[in-house]
Amino acid sequence: MRLNPDQLLSFVALAQTGSVSMAATARHLTQPAISNQLKRLQDSVGVPLYRRQGRGVVLTSTGEIFYRHALQVQHSLQQTELFADGLQGLTAGRVRLAASQTIAGSFLPAALVLFNQLYPEIEIFVDSANSQQVFDRMDTHDLGLVESLLPTAVPDCCSVELLGHDRIVAVMRPDHPLAAQPAIELSELAMYPLIWREAGSGTRDVLEQAMMTETSRRPEVHLCLGGVSAVLEAVRQGLGIGVVSQFCLPTGESILTTRPFAPQLVRPMSLLMPAHASPVAHIFADFIIPYVKKRLMDAKDE
């Protein structure tokens, strides 16, 4: 059996609108044309896919399953059209980007200003989350930016590009005893209250692994806060030491100071690109990859 893609699209419109006339409107076709397509499709399949109910239609149980398959065809056609548009030099569209909090707060604001100057008709929607949540969203987003060790759960359809390494530092008030030291050893953290990020944070994952290597046991978590901003504010209030990216301290910060660890704690910063990423997502990737790499290299040389 060979199915007609145009008939499948009409069936999807029927399933989503519940009406032949509304499906015709959605597909910019006449009602007789839609009715003819749906009849031919149903004849080809050989079993009822929908039935009339009142002034509209409802799918049969077989039709519900068939709809899910037809929806995949529609999605594939849309992606193919987007790619074809990209080949013709399309520079307008929308990109859904999931970014971990360090990148969303410290890298993207300035980067998006520059990108908008180059491509004013491309809209970038940023979802800020922790690293694990970014991994989880790759089936619905065009791109992901994370600073974390890559889990085995990253989908095989995602390509991964290493952008460089981010240095993790301890953040504290200037009057804290450890602030007098040029660098801090991990063993010294156990002597003072420590403010942790939430589970799923790339910063927390790296710190936990390093401390387990140092002590051969999982560290105790007495205070855990969600997000970089909450950790920084808790440190300002004197609740303990925080552990954050070297890029997280706001410009002009006067209450907090940072110290590196000895040996240094670093983590990879990577770009995730699912197979379904649109052509305009590729345009943004081509821009953000060298931008982040340069920022990381400049910080390494400081």
Lowest mean pLDDT among 122-131, 160-169, 192-201, 214-223: 214-223
Place of tokens 């993207």: 108
Q: Where residue 152 falls among pLDDT bands split at 50, 70, 90?
A: low
CA distances, 98 to each of 84, 95, 101, 197, 203 (Å): 25, 10, 10, 19, 17
155 within 8 A of 163, measured Cβ to Cβ: no
Flag whether pLDDT at 157 surpasses 70: no
Give me the mean pLDDT over the 280-295 stretch.
Answer: 92
Q: Name the percent of the chain lying above pLDDT 90.
A: 35
Flag whether pLDDT at 80 surpasses 80: no
CA distances, 94 to each of 140, 189, 282 (Å): 13, 44, 11
Q: What is the pLDDT of residues 101-148, one digit of tens each?
A: 888 888 899 999 999 998 888 889 999 888 888 888 888 899 999 887
Nearest CA among 236, 265, 264 for reference residue 250: 236
Q: What is the DSSP code (8-state) at residue 250?
A: P
41 within 8 A of 8, measured Cβ to Cβ: yes
Q: Is 16 exposed, middle or buried (0-12, 13-18, 19+ CB in 10 A)?
A: middle
Q: Name the percent of the chain lying above pLDDT 70.
A: 92
Averaged pLDDT of the chain: 86
